[in-house]
A and B are shown apart, each in its own frame.
Chain A
Amino acid sequence: MNKKDILSVNDLNNEQILQILDSSDSFMEVLERDLKKIPVLRGKTIVNLFYEPSTRTKTSFELAAKRLSADVINFSPLNSSLKKGETELDTLKTIIDMKVDLAVIRHSDSGYVKYFAKNVNLPVINAGDGKHEHPTQAFLDLYTIFKHFKQFKDLRVAIVGDVLNSRVARSNILLFKKMGMEVFVVAPSMLLPENMDFFDIKSFKSIDDVIDEVDVLYMLRMQFERQNKKFYPSINEYNRFLTLNKTRFEKIKENSLIMHPGPVNRGIEISSEIMELEEKYPDKIKIDSQVTNGVAVRMALLYYALS
């Protein structure tokens, strides 16, 4: 069985990743046309299985598939036979039996998407599993960086905030390091996982420690929905060490990027004031471009997985 799953950023080698970035440029061009559709995946059917709420990832995948002329089914577990007692894997198999070509899956449990992928014989793309990985987010972030800097060598990236609960952090650290960038995390120890040694990267306590020397400031979303006990004392504490505000914005290195996977908690990761500046500094604040790039990169990944 030789199917092309994308469960982790490590499922693609460096050469394949560079090809994804290259072809994303071509898909980006399609998104700028009046008629935003190409027939590459005509006749293919893609199922979106989101066992966890999502707006941007799900919409982005759906649009990407439709731009490629694939048919899309959205499966939402809330009004499904799961309610009738069917197991999740059996539900998935039922859908696959209806001759689907690829599944995009998000699940709140780490590793669950891999379990699905192992038990079915069609390509699976991980759209986020628990605190584990969110590879397509990492690829679109990488593309956003690549579009700006045209290369990765010697770039320094600080990943700021809730590393503990973030699958984006995990995928991005792995992918950015793999492509030759230097990666730091900025977070208090209570927002770092216990096994930080695994990543072998430096960590800092405050954004002020790194702000004037990084090329990319990657702000993570505070995952309130994943914190069932309190991990951080107060919003004031967060603001003191981690929030990107006006004062800090002015200290940022020239020709550097500010990124955030969205949705932003205004006033926590990034102040409202800075959020309003994106139109004024489109070469610096990339939060909106990340969303646009996301569709193109997901087109490239769907194309890769199905060709």
Chain B
Amino acid sequence: MREKATVLNSSDMDRIIQRMAHEIVERNKGSKNLIFIGIQKKGVPLAKRIKENIEKFENTQIKLGKLDITFYRDDLSEKIKTDVNITDIPFEIKGKDVILVDDVIFTGRTIRAALDAIMDFGRPKSIQLVVLIDRGHRELPIRADYVGKNLPTSLNEYIEVKFKEIDGEDKVTICWI
């Protein structure tokens, strides 16, 4: 994989995360009924940061769960994925406004799987989707409610999102496959 260009640096990412945190609170008229669920792996650090931002300016505590969607994928027979991450949602989601977070939205199939998985845990009042990058090429009628950056791509490109917690640095790059 060859790196083509840096799309976002660390301070760009900070600003976007802060902006999305405010948008979420604005649209939900506060943060009282919110819970966050990050999709493994890169959705988790993003969810954590947005949540911490809201906690700071709303002076509150918000719950954060982790969701691995491997078991809900529609392409199991095509791709073998053996490195399964843990799902950890140790609280009630019934009646909550769930903020579902992932780093990149592409075909929409991951989100379709995540919606199925969340429904198995209970019936939330609503589910709203946050992504850092929307790279287009949707294959399903799914859209994000909060988008960090729209980044039209071609199919032979790949978006790499890095987070300090996992990769040691904050950076979004566009790469050739």
Contact = CB atoms under 8 A, between A and B. Distances in A.
Contact of B120 (A35, A304, A307): A35
Contact of B82 (A23, A25, A33, A37): A23
B83 A37 contact: no
Q: Which of B71, B77, B86 has the most CB of A within 10 A?
A: B71
A26 B72 contact: no
Interface in A87-138: none
B85 to A, nearest CB: 7
Q: Which of A25, A33, A35, A39 has the most CB of B within 10 A?
A: A39
Interface in A5-39: 19, 22-23, 25-26, 29-30, 33-35, 37-39
B72 A38 contact: yes
A45 B66 CA distance: 30
Interface in B49-96: 68, 70-72, 76-77, 80-88
A295 to B, nearest CB: 15
A307 B84 CA distance: 13
A23 B84 contact: yes
B71 A39 contact: yes
A185 B71 CA distance: 40
B61 to A, nearest CB: 23
B80 A19 contact: no
A174 interface: no
Interface residues of B, number: 20
Contact of B76 (A35, A37, A307): A307
A228 B93 CA distance: 57
B120 A26 contact: no
Given A29-B87, A29-B88, A33-B120, A40 B82 contact: no
B116 interface: yes
A19 B120 contact: no
Nearest to A35: B120
B56 to A, nearest CB: 30
A39 B116 contact: yes
Nearest to A19: B82
A33 B77 CA distance: 25
A22 B87 contact: no
Contact of A40 (B76, B83, B86): B76
A22 B76 contact: no
Given A33-B121, A37-B120, A19 B87 contact: no
A262 B77 CA distance: 35
A39 B72 contact: yes
Contacts of A30: 71, 87
A26 B76 contact: no
Nearest to B77: A307
Nearest to B80: A307
Contacts of B71: 26, 30, 38-40
A127 B97 CA distance: 45
Nearest to B88: A29
Contact of B83 (A22, A38, A39): A22
Given A38-B72, A38-B120, A39-B116, A22 B80 contact: no
Interface of A: 19, 22-23, 25-26, 29-30, 33-35, 37-40, 304, 307
14 contacts: A22-B83, A22-B84, A23-B82, A26-B68, A26-B71, A26-B84, A26-B85, A26-B86, A29-B87, A30-B87, A33-B121, A37-B120, A40-B71, A40-B76
Given A26-B70, A26-B85, 16 more contacts: A19-B83, A23-B82, A25-B86, A26-B71, A26-B84, A26-B86, A33-B120, A33-B121, A34-B121, A34-B122, A37-B120, A39-B71, A39-B72, A40-B72, A40-B76, A307-B80
